[in-house]
Chains A and B, each alone.
Chain A
Amino acid sequence: MLVMGEVHTGLLQNSGEISESTCRQVLGITAGETVRVSRRPIVHALSPERLTGVDCTLPAASRSRVRGVGTVVSRCAVTGGRVAQGSSYVRVVRSEADRRLPWSHYLARPGVVEVLGKAKAADLAEGFTGDPTPGSPDGACLNLGAVSGRFLDLVQASPLLDRRAPFKIPRTSLRWVAETGEPSIRFTLHTEQERTLRLTHPGPFTPAVVDLCEDLATHDWLLTSLLVIVERARIGTTPGAAAVARLAPAIDHLLHLWMPAARVEEWLTPFWDSLERRPGFTRQWRSLVDRVRDQVAVNTLALLSASAETGRR
């Protein structure tokens, strides 16, 4: 029917970036299973996948009660030794039975949630990506964000991290729905930290779609965070040196991490391309980066001419 997932992204709670081998240890949450690492064009480490059993209502825009039983797949990732993620998703399918089956049945289908009774894909997609209905914090409803958040917590609480992150910054969450059909992509900003993505792709679902969503989430977080840091610097209203001091953490820790579509399979790159046209992630990123570098340059010039001045006197 459809696939839904949620990615939470945040700044790894460490003073500096961590090495590839530390990444492996931080993400090797269960001994014996290996962490997958790719090195080019940026070090990206992905934890083994874990399953969480669920038997709960699924979010439906019509607010009809749809029961789903199965397992959620989750994993953690660290990009560039600096950006941490917790990511979960489920493939929602119709159950062939009209009642709950033994757990062995669901465990044999990792990442699949079977819907008992009637449900429409569009209703679920709307329910999952729409604004949560006010006054229904329903704890019994599928909450992929809670699962992803906990996986991100696991990474952040690793004893290998010193928890002295160079700046404070909120996590962002990207809730996504993927379906098969005529290709289209829609990325929406909700509150300061919440985003949704509706994706229709040709051909059947593969885990490469999850990679795409995680890649988008990483870059959206980078962009969001750089915007916050630039805003905090109050360029133009604070003295140049103070503004540059506030921009420094971005230069040290974020600017080199921008690698859009680096881990996206060939057949999915058109989706990134389309987001590059509108809303234009890289365009906005570049203009911010230029702004940061210009500030540094202007401030350096000011310092140089000031010291030349004192030299002459």
Chain B
Amino acid sequence: MLVFAISDKGGTGRSVTGTNIVYRHALQGNDVCYLDYDFGSPTAGAIFSVSGVARGTRQNGLHEYLRGECPQPRRVDVWAESDREGLRTRPPGAGRLVLLPGSEGGGELSALTDEIIGRCVQLFGRLEEEFDLCMIDVSAGRSFTAELVLAATVRMPAVPFRWLVFHRWTRQHIIAAAGLVTGADGLLDVGTRFGHDADDLRDRIRYVRTAVLEPDSAELVGLRDEQRAWLSACDSELRELAGRHSVGRTAMLGKIPLDPVLQWREQLITDEDVLASKIANAETAAAFDELAKKIVDDNAWEGL
């Protein structure tokens, strides 16, 4: 299964949420890999705490591979190469957790050629043979990278794939996320131009809300009643707005609560962060865990 992670805007939590989902999926016993196709800002190495590739790799990054400058992209075994103590041993029963870092200082793709699409198809095909889940961080907004993976998936009709669109729970983000999917030059528009069936493609897209502050959450206990009432009203307004833009509950795969740890640092939330040091919220870990299951649960992906 290929899963493409996209968002309309940068800074929505796409990378942090995507990496945490992949990590949880590995803990659930699956072999997983994470491809950093966010060529302008390849930060996945930092989130996995692999300092050698914190801002991408100097050699054999994905960018170089796609340009034909190296025969195969570099693979980083996170269980072996992470600097974080809690990640450096593979927990019993966990699957492989592999990062394919982007190229340091690679820059966005500046054009889409047939050769690049061919190499992308080759890479996806091979990874899909050996990994249960391959998550591809496609970067923000309309880009050549998004076009690249739309073109590549047309050429491999038998390979299953899905899209996750990440957005924050605000007016601007809801409208922008909907636009990225259904707007001019959005995913559906470009996808059909490359040969996807619009309805089929729409069924493969779900939204994920990031850094959500629930009106009844523990974080808000100290608020005045007036503030809580105001937040509640905002929240229902947003729900109404989301529904109108087809970004509502039915099209949503899950939501991740706002977490103090993630607000301060881009990182994986381990069980140790929740249970031992207690710096992260149990709800956050549980939300990642549930998303990691839903991503492969066909019931959650039935036609809308």
Contact = CB atoms under 8 A, between A and B. Distances in A.
B153 interface: no
B130 A168 contact: yes
Interface residues of A, number: 28
Describe B's contact surface by its main secondary structure.
loop
A160 B260 CA distance: 51
A168 B125 contact: no
Contact of A143 (B69, B71, B130, B131): B71
Contacts of B132: 168
B107 interface: no
A186 B156 CA distance: 39
Contact of B93 (A149, A150, A234): A234
Interface string A133-177: 001010100010110011001001101011111001111000000
A170 B59 contact: no
Contact of B122 (A135, A153, A164, A165): A153
Interface string B83-113: 0000000001101000000000000000000
Interface size class of B (residues with CB under 8 A): 20 to 34
B159 A163 contact: yes
Given A137-B59, A163-B159, A234-B92, A171 B131 contact: no
A159 B243 CA distance: 40
Given A153-B122, A157-B156, A234-B92, A171 B71 contact: no
A137 B92 contact: no
A137 B130 contact: no
B70 interface: yes
Describe A's contact surface by its main secondary structure.
loop
Contacts of B70: 137, 139
B218 interface: no
B158 A161 contact: yes
B31 interface: yes
Nearest to B60: A137
Contacts of B59: 135, 137
B114 interface: no
B129 interface: yes
B129 A168 contact: yes
A137 B129 contact: no
A70 interface: no
A168 B131 contact: yes
Given A153-B122, A161-B158, A169 B92 contact: no
Interface in A167-195: 168-171
B126 interface: yes
Given A135-B59, A146-B71, A168 B31 contact: yes
Interface in A196-228: none
A95 B291 CA distance: 61
A11 B129 contact: yes
Contacts of A170: 129-130
B303 interface: no
9 contacts: A135-B59, A139-B69, A161-B158, A163-B158, A164-B158, A165-B129, A170-B130, A232-B29, A234-B93
Interface of B: 29, 31, 59-60, 69-72, 92-93, 95, 122, 125-126, 128-132, 156, 158-159
List the 6 closest A-B pairs by CB distance, nearest first.
A163-B158, A170-B130, A146-B71, A137-B70, A168-B130, A168-B132
